[in-house]
Structure 1
């Protein structure tokens, strides 16, 4: 069985699992209906092919998940502190981030990870240059900006380790822009 067929079967099984979860009851009829609905969806609404290069590495992927959860929790606590503390709101701004990877799939995964971290939101993606502009809730100090870029570089390296064979060298830390 080739890679495309394995992927199709995986998507079909995932759609069936979602169907059964939506019905809230595991039964033979629900599983068969889920497979049928999944097959209809796959035939009538096919996803475009995304060229995937490289290999999936399980250990870096697990580390990526753990680090992402940690950053999400840390950011949630930071936002809660900003909401509860006395004083003015933090200075927010838009930061430019240049990534070393060139894969569209990895860029999408990274963008989604950034959007899941509270206090950050990707505003614009330049696919050709692999640059994203991210709104960050706290850019009031050099320390906060440096922490954001450290977080980005950790996520970037974990994504490269988990999904790509090789990567271009990481961009230098100079040229980071802050627009407030």
Structure 2
């Protein structure tokens, strides 16, 4: 950047030309900015290098599972058991936390539960949207049930509705059933694992509009859980599934056609 020149009056009355330094970053400020940039690059490079090194050399213990997904489920179980142990004691201390971890690991090694197939990937943004919708449905359904309970007139007409869902994993199906059970006005009474059929008790089905609302809600839950956990591009059947193996061998196009026929017949 070239220096600008301005005229300034001299001592003898004549004008003299004096250079003016441009306004910009000083050497100290430039040094700090460059240092910050290099620090970010160094941190990113070190983090990626450490992750690659650990990924190539560390092996998941056999009792944690065969892949990172099952290991994540096992670690979550250990964290949950540790939390329950600390809550039982009522005091958060290092002794309770360490003893809880030891007890949780001992339970996982000595008294292992059946393997839980983890066959998809978690999408946090979709899960947050699902949780937000659950909160909204909870308050709306609670208000509707409370109004039906106090308003004058005949009691609501309840019924058991049958609906089929395209959720493949038993674990995700359990989460979807828990979602329906948490919303007031619906309660899952029975699950047909083979046909992926749910029998749901609905609090109020006095009109066709109420019935359509129920099927619309189930369709939303099914779509969001598949989007959050079971996208077809990320689906990897687990060898421990063992319940609906026939379902995995059906092509997505044939599965969609069978789903449409099943929904039309059941609804």
3-state secondary structure, aligned to 2:91: coil
Greater alpha carbon shift after TM alignment, 10-19 vs 141-150 = 10-19
Per-residue deviation, 1:40: 2.6
Structure 1 Cα separation of the partners of residues 138 and 226 of structure 2: 20
Match of 2:196 among 121, 124, 130: 130
Question: In the alignment, does 2:132 pair up with 1:66?
Answer: yes
Structure 2 Cα separation of the partners of residues 156 and 6 of structure 1: 24
Distance 1:6 1:143, change over 3 A: closer
Give the TM-score, by structure 1 length: 0.89
| Count of residues paired in the alignment | 177
Q: 1:27 maps to what in 2?
A: 93
Greater alpha carbon shift after TM alignment, 136-145 vs 72-81 = 72-81
Report if the CA contact (8 A) 1:99-1:171 is conserved: no
3-state secondary structure, aligned to 2:162: strand
Match of 2:165 among 88, 94, 99: 99
3-state secondary structure, aligned to 1:139: coil
Per-residue deviation, 1:176: 4.4
3-state secondary structure, aligned to 1:71: helix
Structure 2 Cα separation of the partners of residues 70 and 5 of structure 1: 33
Per-residue deviation, 1:123: 1.3
Q: 2:207 maps to what in 1?
A: 141
| Alpha-carbon displacement from aligned partner over 1:61-105 (angstroms, at most 9, x marks no partner) | 111111112112211111111111111111000111111222212
Distance 1:100 1:8, change over 3 A: closer
Structure 1: runs of 5 or more not aligned: none
Aligned-residue CA RMSD in angstroms?
Answer: 1.8
3-state secondary structure, aligned to 1:175: helix
Greater alpha carbon shift after TM alignment, 139-148 vs 105-114 = 105-114
Question: In the alignment, does 2:219 pair up with 1:153?
Answer: yes
3-state secondary structure, aligned to 2:163: strand
Which aligned segments of 4 or more residues in structure 1 are displaced greater than 4 angstroms?
none
| Alpha-carbon displacement from aligned partner over 1:46-74 (angstroms, at most 9, x marks no partner) | 22112222211111111111111211221
Q: 2:55 maps to what in 1?
A: none
Structure 2: runs of 5 or more not aligned: 1-59, 61-66, 233-251
Give the TM-score, by structure 2 length: 0.62
Structure 1 Cα separation of the partners of residues 198 and 147 of structure 2: 27
